[in-house]
């Protein structure tokens, strides 16, 4: 499957905005199929099996969250959700339900395109398999050897710090919610204990970032989660 021939499904009820997105994305060489309601979107997914979905959370018929939930029952298709600002709860919920990334309106189409590219690349790059090596800026990590280098300097991480970092690496370039991180690193009973995450994130920043108060790699998405800058 060539990336540029990927089929994208836009589920968006506003006709103008849909027109803008499809024009822009068609120009990028993608094939576009559109739906204006959640139910229609679900049917399109079954019939045409697109490679990626761009989903507006505010739909006229069923809740966008519902669309994500029913899709995730049987499909791993990448989903980018679009939402209004100040809906961190909505966004977090969508991500926890299984959406892969989000954008808040208004956004620039360039950002959308780069997110779509990144998601499609992730799907083609690692078909379920694990990654051995990750690099962003001066940080190099060899996952199998558990080796972490900042420039030439080797950094020692505790098991939890390493686990946290490896989850972020697995989702590099994408936001991972607080809940997902807490659950995967500490276990389901720690979901309410967000301070663990803050403290260990602080540790990681102090070990990996040149200026922990101005992180270049371990980015905070306020109210949603964390994003590790993608090495590209």
Alpha carbon distance 5, 203 (integer Å):
42
> Is 194 a residue that touches another protein (CB under 8 A)?
yes
Question: In this complex, which beta carbon is closest to another protein, that of residue 45 or of residue 148?
Answer: 148
Among residue numbers 159 through 188, which ones bind another protein (CB under 8 A)?
Answer: 159-160, 162
- The DSSP bridge partners found for residue 103 are 82
Q: By CB under 8 A, tell whether 86 contacts another protein.
A: yes
Is 199 one of the binding residues for another protein (CB under 8 A)? yes
Interaction between residue 153 and another protein (CB under 8 A): no
Which 98-117 positions form the footprint of another protein (CB under 8 A)? Answer: 106
Three-state SS for 31? strand
Is 231 a binding residue for another protein by CB under 8 A? The answer is: no
By the rule CB under 8 A, 17 interacts with another protein: no
Residue 211 contacts another protein per CB under 8 A? yes
**Residue spans of alpha helices (H) in the chain:** 15-27, 38-48, 64-72, 88-97, 109-125, 159-170, 178-185, 194-208
- Burial of residue 102 (CB within 10 Å: 0-12, 13-18, 19+) is buried
**Partners of residue 95 on adjacent β-strands:** none
Q: Name the residue among 157, 156, 141, 137 with its Cα closest to residue 211.
A: 137
Residue of 85, 127, 128, 129 that binds another protein (CB under 8 A): 85
User: Rounded to the nearest 5°, which phi and psi values hold at 27?
Assistant: -65, -25
Nearest to another protein of 153, 195 (CB atom): 195
Q: Which of 45, 164, 205, 228 binds another protein (CB under 8 A)?
A: 205
Residue 230 binding another protein, by CB under 8 A: no
| 147/216 Cα distance (integer angstroms) | 20
Q: Is 223 in the site for another protein (CB under 8 A)?
A: yes
Which range of residues in 68-76, 94-102, 121-129, 220-228 is near another protein by CB under 8 A?
A: 220-228
Q: Where on the chain is the footprint of another protein (CB under 8 A)?
A: 85-86, 88, 106, 146, 156-160, 162, 193-196, 198-199, 201-202, 205-206, 211-215, 219-223
């Amino acid at each position: 499957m060539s990336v540029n021939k990927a089929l994208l499904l836009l589920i968006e009820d506003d006709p103008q905005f849909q027109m803008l997105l499809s024009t822009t994305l068609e120009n990028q060489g993608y094939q576009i199929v559109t739906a204006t309601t959640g139910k229609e979107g679900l049917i399109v997914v079954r019939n045409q099996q697109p490679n990626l979905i761009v989903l507006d959370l505010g739909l006229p018929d069923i809740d966008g969250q519902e669309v994500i939930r029913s899709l995730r029952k049987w499909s791993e298709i990448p989903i980018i959700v679009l939402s209004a600002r100040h809906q961190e709860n909505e966004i977090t919920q969508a991500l926890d339900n299984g959406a892969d990334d989000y954008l808040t309106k208004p956004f620039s189409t360039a950002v959308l395109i780069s997110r779509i590219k990144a998601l499609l690349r992730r799907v083609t790059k690692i078909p379920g398999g694990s990654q051995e090596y990750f690099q962003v800026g001066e940080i190099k990590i060899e996952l199998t050897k558990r080796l972490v280098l900042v420039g030439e300097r080797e950094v020692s991480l505790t098991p939890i710090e390493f686990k946290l970092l490896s989850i972020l690496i697995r989702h590099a370039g994408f936001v991972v919610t607080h809940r997902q991180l807490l659950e995967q690193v500490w276990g389901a009973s720690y979901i309410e204990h967000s301070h663990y995450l803050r403290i260990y994130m602080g540790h990681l920043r102090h070990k990996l970032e040149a200026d922990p108060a101005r992180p270049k790699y371990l980015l905070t998405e306020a109210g949603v989660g964390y994003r590790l800058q993608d090495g590209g």
